[in-house]
Structure 1
Amino acid sequence: MRNGYIYLTIAILGEIFGTTMLKLSDGFSNLLPALGLIIGMGLAFYFLSLSLKTIPLSLAYAVWSGVGTALTALIGVLLWNDPFGILTGVGLLLIIGGVVILNTSNASGTVQESSK
């Protein structure tokens, strides 16, 4: 299970890198950032798929997309002066809270598997 979370962390970093390169690519008109986008997203999906060997899909995808969204939003605020208001902060806290709840419910065994 530990390797799954290492893979998931790499997948999140790849997504953040790829999304940052998406902004810098300026609509795919800058070659190097466009290549960085392709590499970052390729790594993100590859390592996400590796994490799914040990982490349930619902949990892995929620963590990947939630943490990636929150960190990417913060990067937008810090690097490109994206607007940040109280609702943005509340939204990010709700995303992070949702990820924490999913992790907690999975760890405590309250997530039920469907019977086959």
Structure 2
Amino acid sequence: MTNWVFLALAIIAEVVATSSLKASEGFTRLMPSVIVILGYGVAFYLLGLALRTIPVGTAYAIWAGLGIVLVAAAGWLVFGQKLDAWGVAGMALIVSGVFVLNVLSKAGAH
């Protein structure tokens, strides 16, 4: 169970880092730039820990899928970026895919 917590924290760190990348304005602002570097470092370290028991394909699918949705949500909430119905539908399909992979598929370590 601990490795799933590592994966969840890795995803959160990656979302914070990616959102800060936008705020860093091309690494011209110091604090967001520091958050980017630290966030990605923490994210990859925690992903590495999670991969001790979670298959890499499963972990990366979850990482990428949830990362996309959470970064899009952060863009909407923090930066005022627009999401249209097709964007929301696409993200719902991504979340559905992560659900199928984790709950229904026998491909991952459960």
For 1:92 and 1:102, the matched residues in 2 are separated by 15
For 1:43 and 1:59, the matched residues in 2 are separated by 20
User: After the TM superposition, which segments of 4 or more aligned residues of structure 1 sit over 3 Å from their partners?
Assistant: none
Q: Confirm whether residue 8 of structure 1 aligns to residue 20 of structure 2.
A: no
In structure 2, the partner of 1:77 is 76
Greater radius of gyration (CA): 1
Alignment gaps of 5+ in structure 1: none
Q: Confirm whether residue 41 of structure 1 aligns to residue 49 of structure 2.
A: no
Identity %: 38
Alignment-mate amino acid for residue 99 of structure 2: V
Count of aligned pairs between the two proteins: 108
For 1:103 and 1:9, the matched residues in 2 are separated by 13
RMSD: 1.2
1:105 Cα offset (Å): 3.6
Alignment-mate amino acid for residue 23 of structure 1: K
Equivalent residue runs for 1:83-94 within 5 Å? 83-94=82-93
Query: Scaled by the length of structure 2, what TM-score is found?
Result: 0.93
